[in-house]
Chains A and B, each alone.
Chain A
Amino acid sequence: MKVLYLYCKDRPLIGFGYFFVFFLIFLAVFADLIAPWPPQTANPDDYLQAPSWRHLFGTDETGMDIFSRCIYSIRLDLSIAFLGTAVSAIVGTAIGAFVGYYEARGRLKTVFSSFTMRALDVIQSFPVFVFAIALVAIFGQGLYSIIAAIAFVNMPIYVRLMRTQALSIRQMRYVEAAYLSGLSDVSLIIKHIVPNSMGPILSHLSVNVGWSVLLAAALSFAGAGVEAPTPEWGSMIAVGFKNIVTGQWWPSTFPGIVLGLTVFSFALIGASVEVLADPVRRRAAIAKY
């Protein structure tokens, strides 16, 4: 905690990243108290109002308050991103640990490893975004499909990260000692390999949450994700799309700014985790204190 404070003291932008994420979570939790208008109630009298004190971010074509909708979107977008990232990290880490541990270890295990890696190559040669949309189309449009699609397209990174780690950790003497003491492969991986490989995975997690928010919004923008009138940044941008040519910029602009700041904050946190998770770089970063 103290290290984090010292680190942010010199880097106000990183500090902002942490602040903004906590702020978002605060807004999401207390959305009911903070949002001045109901997020999904159309108000035809107030349609396409420019930003004012009454409507801080203006209203969209059905008269819904954009500020309130932006706040309620946090709940949905962050939940999708957190869940999607968590699923891909857990599944990807598990697969990666086995792939790395089994590589070049007995015929059957090696076949398993190389088959999995080739399968990853194939999956990764699909265009990410269209693949995600196709997955949503296959699973049927809905929240769980979006989460599943996000989890699926992010998974290969975790498999690769974990595989590289497992390949080096399995050489460690304590892993050999555990192997000799008769531990089964599964408990050996759970007890020794995974806990000692978490560094790079943790620093990727934060960046990945940001990407997932972006992907979720993009899916909704394309019409394959959350549908209006449910408040969601991507679909709000899509709704405001046709107004922008005629000069009403606010329905698309504000959700985009909030979305961009959110992703940026997670990227900043990710960048700091990368430094802070490495003891050597951590010490160098706060050396002068």
Chain B
Amino acid sequence: MKILEVNDVVKIFKTKGGNVRALNGVSLDIDEGKTVGVVGESGSGKTTLGRLIVGLINPDTGSISFEQRSIGSKVNIRHPDIRGKIQLVFQEPSESLDPRIKVGDSICEPLRGLGIEKSSWNSKLKIVSEKVSLAEEQLSMYPSQLSAGQQQRAGIARALITDPKLIVLDEPTSALDPTARAEILSMLQDVQKEFGVSYIYISHDLSTVRYLTDETAVMYLGEIVEFGETSKIFSRPSHPYSTGLLSSILLPDPEIVMDESLELSGEIPSPINLPKGCFLESRCPISTKECSSHHPDLITSDDRLVRCFEVEKMKDIVQPSSKFEDFDKSFDDFMTKRYSSSVQAGNN
């Protein structure tokens, strides 16, 4: 069942320099209990999309519906009917908790808005803090006394305490060191298994996207350029931009290299002054005349959606590769080891 449908949203920010076209018609669906990854460079609009979904900003046109119910400027996320069902976890753990309020109180803050009896707050707090492995004494500390990883756990606990149906994770691990990152990701997986919550995972860290998500949307300059099952996109990207992005991952094995003929070059066009044709045309190694005069639509190609005129050509160039599978395996191993060792450490 679809839990969230984003339908052709457009968002333009008015600035002194001109109108910044942050989102240019983005559509996205999420099934219950699934995880969708949103990847792209900074400036691709992925964070704007996340903030739009939770209702921190309103779309200019287009619609968003949550559980078949349209949300937006009138009925936004703060509306009593929806409140607490969509949650957000922020990129900056140090900024996401009020420095003058104890961690436990910050975690419980969303309960106030739900009108839940104060007497039951403690039991709820206990459940979520156990889930994110925060010790009881840490709940009565101030955020500055916690590490970045612990702060992020508290941020996740605050999101979980309202039993949300959907959590938007806006680069939740980018500010963390690798160990803390691995722990948080494993924890997110466990939580999903147990509560059946859906995630939108926004990140530029492709290796974690590969690990955590079921489907991936690749964004470029406020548009989705490729959308499909994560494993399929990673084994054989069909859009030149996806290919370029994937080639930028640091793989553990130096033997594994991307095809150099598909490297992107040049500058990203300004979002204030977007080109008429394909936004990638100036950087694309396989662009044609058509690319500079017409803007491609998102079309179905086999098992996915791609926004490119040269899909067929791409199929020839990019062969299905298993190079990520080796990588996946080593990454999985790393995660399991790290997490189980940290859990043991926690239990001792």
Contacts and interface: CB of A to CB of B under 8 A. Distances in A.
- Contact between A and B in the complex (any CB pair below 8 Å): yes
Interface of A: 172-174, 176-183, 191-192, 195-196
Contacts of A183: 109, 112-113
A174 B96 CA distance: 4
A183 B84 CA distance: 12
A159 B254 CA distance: 59
A182 B90 contact: no
Among A172, A182, A183: residue with most chain B CB under 10 A: A182
Contacts of B91: 173
Contact of B114 (A179, A182, A192, A195): A182
21 contacts: A173-B96, A174-B96, A174-B106, A176-B56, A176-B90, A177-B90, A177-B96, A178-B109, A179-B78, A180-B54, A180-B77, A180-B87, A181-B112, A182-B83, A182-B84, A183-B109, A183-B113, A191-B98, A191-B101, A195-B100, A196-B99
8 closest Cβ pairs, A-B complex: A182-B113, A181-B110, A173-B96, A173-B90, A173-B95, A174-B98, A181-B113, A182-B83
Interface string B237-274: 00000000000000000000000000000000000000
B247 to A, nearest CB: 32
Nearest to A198: B100
Interface in B276-314: none
B96 A180 contact: no
Contacts of B153: none
A180 B98 contact: no
Contacts of B97: 174
Interface residues of B, number: 29
Contact of A196 (B77, B98, B110): B98
A234 to B, nearest CB: 40
A280 to B, nearest CB: 14
A250 to B, nearest CB: 51
B148 to A, nearest CB: 13
Contacts of A192: 98, 101
A196 to B, nearest CB: 6
Nearest to B76: A180
A183 B113 CA distance: 6
Given A180-B55, A181-B109, 7 more contacts: A173-B90, A174-B98, A180-B56, A180-B78, A192-B101, A195-B100, A196-B99
Contacts of A179: 56, 78
Interface string B97-126: 111110000100110111000000000000
Q: Is the interface of A mostly helix, strand, loop or mixed?
A: helix
A182 B88 contact: no
B92 interface: yes
A182 B81 CA distance: 11
**Which of B84, B88, B90, B113 has the most CB atoms of chain A within a 10 A radius of its CB?**
B113
Contacts of B112: 181-183
B320 interface: no
B57 to A, nearest CB: 10
Interface in B47-65: 54-56
Nearest to A178: B109
Contact of A172 (B54, B80, B95, B106): B95
Nearest to A193: B98
B204 interface: no
A79 to B, nearest CB: 31
B158 interface: yes
A245 B49 CA distance: 77
Contacts of B95: 172-174
Contact of A177 (B83, B99, B100, B109): B109
A182 B92 contact: no
A74 to B, nearest CB: 35
Contacts of B92: 173
B63 to A, nearest CB: 20
Contacts of A174: 95-98, 106
A191 B99 CA distance: 12
Given A183-B113, A196-B98, A177 B158 contact: yes
A183 B114 CA distance: 10
B96 A181 contact: no
Nearest to B115: A182
B216 to A, nearest CB: 25
B239 to A, nearest CB: 32
Contacts of B90: 173, 176-177
B78 to A, nearest CB: 5
Contacts of A177: 88, 90, 96, 109-110, 155, 158
A217 B158 CA distance: 53
Nearest to A182: B113
A196 B100 contact: yes
Nearest to B161: A181
A178 B158 CA distance: 10
Interface string B22-39: 000000000000000000
Contacts of B162: 181
Contact of B88 (A180, A191, A195): A180
Contacts of A178: 98, 109
A128 B312 CA distance: 76
B98 A182 contact: no
A181 B56 CA distance: 11
B157 to A, nearest CB: 12
